[in-house]
Structure 1
Amino acid sequence: MLILGGYGNFGKRIAESLSASQGITVIIAGRNLQKAQALCTQLAEKGVSAMLEPSQIDIGSANFEVELERLSPDLVIHTSGPFQGQTYRVPEACIAVGSHYIDLADDRRFVCDIQALNAKALERKVLLVSGASSVPGLSSVVIDHFLEHFSSLEEIDFAIAPGNRAERGEATVKGILSYTGHPFPVLHQGQWVDRYGWMSPRKLCFGDVVGSRWLANVDIPDLELFPKRYPSANTVRFQAGLELSLLHLGMVFMALWAKLGLVKDWSRFTRVIIISSEIFKRWGTDVGGMKVMLSGRDKNNQPKRIHWLLCAEHGVGPYIPTLSAIILAKKLIVGSIDQLGAMPCLGLFTLEEFDQEAKQLGIYHHTEFLDG
């Protein structure tokens, strides 16, 4: 298998996990061969079961498909974001060479429109999965797990709050900045309305360990996918936040500038913003959380609420976005997944399968069942 961006923030964690699998070759690939080689050496020194190979490959080069065909992987895991503005060049190349494909995309259009490749993927008998990350990969699995408790699921409200000391990926930051202060449609009380990126700030409690965190609007594929997947829902809301109030509210202020037209695109300043944020890295914690709040009617048509809360301590938060891709890759390795075609990552594994990976990292969750 080939991991594009294999030495990046998420790629290296996927490579670390999958290198424990026996009987496979993991190709760690990217534009910088030295970084790929360094990670191979680092993992080999820890002791791995898989064969490790470094490779230099650029998804933007004219000969990308030729290079992909030369490597001839059974599976490609694409972690080279940001996915905002990317074409389907990589998954189309995978179809051409007959490789399965998984990505960690968080861009709404990229994930939601992947089904346009479904006919070609079926013809070549390959599986293409987009959005195998915290959203919509894990979020849909959590909702599916609790769906049987509702006769009618009416509201989905969920959020992610990483710790300030968690490692930041440049691609992730750039993706968020690209829509900061810009409108996107969300379903609210049965109507499609515009919300603005990194605005509508609120505080939400993530339990005793994580505490209360500031949140703001973030555009993700779930906002479009979930109203179709859960048709009884009349509200779907997602937010994320920064642990330090100064940084979070600073982002809200940046969003206001963009909304007023004073700044067209904050993503142009990604590198400067990341460097500036490093000044504050000593403050805050390495503890992050994810919360899914479901509201509706139970089987007796009485009000029902379920709150699912995940907690990641000791700096393991950045592993969470990788687990959906890791689970699917392992299922493909052992042949326990029979889906073919192109699709968003919706309900392709169970919460029990997530726990098998998460518990090894010390990631845990609990559930509150609330009536009324």
Structure 2
Amino acid sequence: MSQQKVLILGGQGRIGKSVAQDLLTHTDAEVTITGRTQKQIVSKPNLQFLELDLSEIKRLREAIKEANLVIHCAGPFHYRDETVLKTCIDEKVNYIDVSDHRSFYQKLVPYQEDAIKAGVTAVLNTGIFPGISNSIVRQGIEKLDTAETIHLSYVVAGSGGAGITVMRTTFLGLRNPFDAWLNSQWKTVLPYTEREVIQFPKPYGKTGVYWFDMPETYTFADSFNVKNVITKFGSIPDFYNHLTWITAHVFPKSWIESKKGIEFFSKVSYNMTSVTDNFSGIGVAMRAEIKGTKNNQKAIYSATMAHQDTAFAAGCGTGTIAQFILDGKINQPGVYPVEQVLSTDLFTLAMHSRGIQIEEQLT
């Protein structure tokens, strides 16, 4: 069998590089990373660079034609459209992305039938959150007889080591109210409101989290028969939470509705975290709590995970899906979120092989 080829769009960013490293570690694939200009010399076996601007549609199609799998890491996804997925479907090439906003998910889901007809497996929202978070929740749902409420919280230390694009994504997420699944209906929620203090694994401990629009807020309501889906996000050190709250609720709305405003806040925040990363670290922690029943009694499933490097963990989440698609263990034509394609058995195997520990409790 010839060597499989993986094309990583946006492969020079923090997340893209982490995905590439995971693939080089866990597969034998030949990996090509792309960028508008080459930022550093590529000198690893099975890794090469291709200069590519996603606006060059003809060259994009030519690059996709040569691949067995395309991984779209070129965010922020608020600004992206369905071009890459459509091209993958046209060329019958499997697709993964690291998108992190429901608006992008909603642009791509209508291509479900086209992907099925083309035999293309497309998995959206891979990474850490969304991504690993989706599989943790699926794992918990399967431990219960019935589930009623999913409460998913995340916290990132400093920049998370994930670059300025993630900063942009955070501020873009503050712009608009969003719909959350509460009491079996969609209700409007304001971003960065209703602070809760959550106990995360060491070394993060207790910290504040706030309502935040994540793809899971939307996809869990479709994937699982539950009444409530709550997704909250926070930062360490905690004063970043207060600064973000001020940005969302005190500054003029026009400041975060313009690209210039988003860019300003993102660069200021990134410069601040370049200092605080030295003592806060760049890690991530998650806690999933699912309330339901087990053996006709009320039960609560809780799971936590933590890692010292957010970008590395995101690479593990995306690399897991890529590995199993290349191996043929995930072969499900259509367009899906992670929780609808990755079995708990495969997820557990992948996390173990990557040294990511998930602590579970059922009470």
Q: Scaled by the length of structure 1, what TM-score is found?
A: 0.87
Letter paired with 1:206: F
Residue 279 of structure 2: aligned partner: 283
Please say if residues 199 and 206 of structure 2, whose CA atoms lie closer than 8 Å, have aligned partners that are also in contact.
Answer: yes
Deviations 1:232-252 (A, max 9, x none): x22110111111121111101
Deviates more, 1:344-353 or 1:10-19: 344-353
Deviations 1:186-235 (A, max 9, x none): 1223342221222222211113432011211211111122122222x221
Q: Distance in 2 between matches of 1:195 and 1:335?
A: 40
Which residues of 2 match residues 264-343 of structure 1 at below 5 A?
264-265=256-257, 266-269=261-264, 270-300=266-296, 302-312=297-307, 315-343=308-336
* Cα gap change, 1:360 to 1:286, in 2 (>3 Å): farther
Residue 3 of structure 2: aligned partner: none
Letter paired with 1:95: I
Please say if residues 309 and 366 of structure 1, whose CA atoms lie closer than 8 Å, have aligned partners that are also in contact.
Answer: yes
1:200 aligns with 2:205: no
Please say if residues 159 and 270 of structure 2, whose CA atoms lie closer than 8 Å, have aligned partners that are also in contact.
Answer: no
> Which SS does the other structure have where 1:161 is aligned?
strand
> Which SS does the other structure have where 1:84 is aligned?
helix
> Which SS does the other structure have where 1:166 is aligned?
coil
1:68 aligns with 2:63: yes
Please say if residues 31 and 58 of structure 1, whose CA atoms lie closer than 8 Å, have aligned partners that are also in contact.
Answer: yes
Please say if residues 121 and 335 of structure 2, whose CA atoms lie closer than 8 Å, have aligned partners that are also in contact.
Answer: yes
Task: Measure how far apart 1:165 and its partner are.
Answer: 6.0
**Count of aligned positions:** 354
Q: Distance in 2 between matches of 1:107 and 1:74?
A: 26
Residue 18 of structure 2: aligned partner: 13
Q: Distance in 2 between matches of 1:311 and 1:264?
A: 31
* Cα gap change, 1:166 to 1:53, in 2 (>3 Å): same
Letter paired with 1:192: W
1:217 aligns with 2:211: yes
Deviates more, 1:192-201 or 1:99-108: 192-201
Residue 49 of structure 2: aligned partner: 54
Please say if residues 153 and 286 of structure 2, whose CA atoms lie closer than 8 Å, have aligned partners that are also in contact.
Answer: yes
Q: Distance in 1 between matches of 2:162 and 2:21?
A: 18
* Cα gap change, 1:6 to 1:305, in 2 (>3 Å): same
Deviations 1:284-316 (A, max 9, x none): 23443110000012231x21111101121xx33
Letter paired with 2:53: D
Q: Distance in 2 between matches of 1:356 and 1:139?
A: 16
Please say if residues 324 and 354 of structure 1, whose CA atoms lie closer than 8 Å, have aligned partners that are also in contact.
Answer: no
Residue 89 of structure 2: aligned partner: 95
2:339 to 335, 346, 365: 346
Task: Note the residue ranges of structure 2 that are not aligned, 5 or more in a row.
Answer: 1-5
Please say if residues 4 and 30 of structure 1, whose CA atoms lie closer than 8 Å, have aligned partners that are also in contact.
Answer: yes
Please say if residues 24 and 31 of structure 2, whose CA atoms lie closer than 8 Å, have aligned partners that are also in contact.
Answer: yes
* Cα gap change, 1:320 to 1:87, in 2 (>3 Å): same
Q: Distance in 1 between matches of 2:361 and 2:58?
A: 52
Q: Distance in 1 between matches of 2:96 and 2:27?
A: 20
1:263 aligns with 2:255: yes
> Which SS does the other structure have where 1:19 is aligned?
helix
* Cα gap change, 1:21 to 1:236, in 2 (>3 Å): closer
Deviations 1:131-174 (A, max 9, x none): 11234432332222232443321110011112226313222221
Task: Measure how far apart 1:257 and its partner are.
Answer: 2.5
Task: Note the residue ranges of structure 1 that are not aligned, 5 or more in a row.
Answer: none
Q: Distance in 2 between matches of 1:66 and 1:289?
A: 38
> Which SS does the other structure have where 1:159 is aligned?
strand
Q: Distance in 1 between matches of 2:232 and 2:70?
A: 30
Residue 31 of structure 2: aligned partner: 26
* RMSD of aligned residue pairs (Cα, Å): 2.2
Task: Measure how far apart 1:327 and its partner are.
Answer: 1.4
> Which SS does the other structure have where 2:60 is aligned?
helix
Q: Distance in 2 between matches of 1:56 and 1:12?
A: 15
> Which SS does the other structure have where 2:100 is aligned?
coil
Percent identical pairs in the alignment equals: 20
Task: Measure how far apart 1:337 and its partner are.
Answer: 2.2
Letter paired with 1:261: K
Q: Distance in 2 between matches of 1:149 and 1:67?
A: 45
Task: Measure how far apart 1:356 and its partner are.
Answer: 3.8
Q: Distance in 2 between matches of 1:209 and 1:275?
A: 24
1:248 aligns with 2:241: yes
Q: Distance in 2 between matches of 1:23 and 1:247?
A: 41
Residue 172 of structure 1: aligned partner: 166
Please say if residues 31 and 56 of structure 1, whose CA atoms lie closer than 8 Å, have aligned partners that are also in contact.
Answer: yes
Task: Measure how far apart 1:61 and its partner are.
Answer: 2.5
Task: Measure how far apart 1:110 and its partner are.
Answer: 1.3
Task: Measure how far apart 1:28 and its partner are.
Answer: 1.5
Please say if residues 144 and 294 of structure 2, whose CA atoms lie closer than 8 Å, have aligned partners that are also in contact.
Answer: yes
Residue 80 of structure 1: aligned partner: 74
> Which SS does the other structure have where 1:240 is aligned?
strand
Please say if residues 105 and 131 of structure 1, whose CA atoms lie closer than 8 Å, have aligned partners that are also in contact.
Answer: yes
1:152 aligns with 2:157: no
* Cα gap change, 1:185 to 1:94, in 2 (>3 Å): same
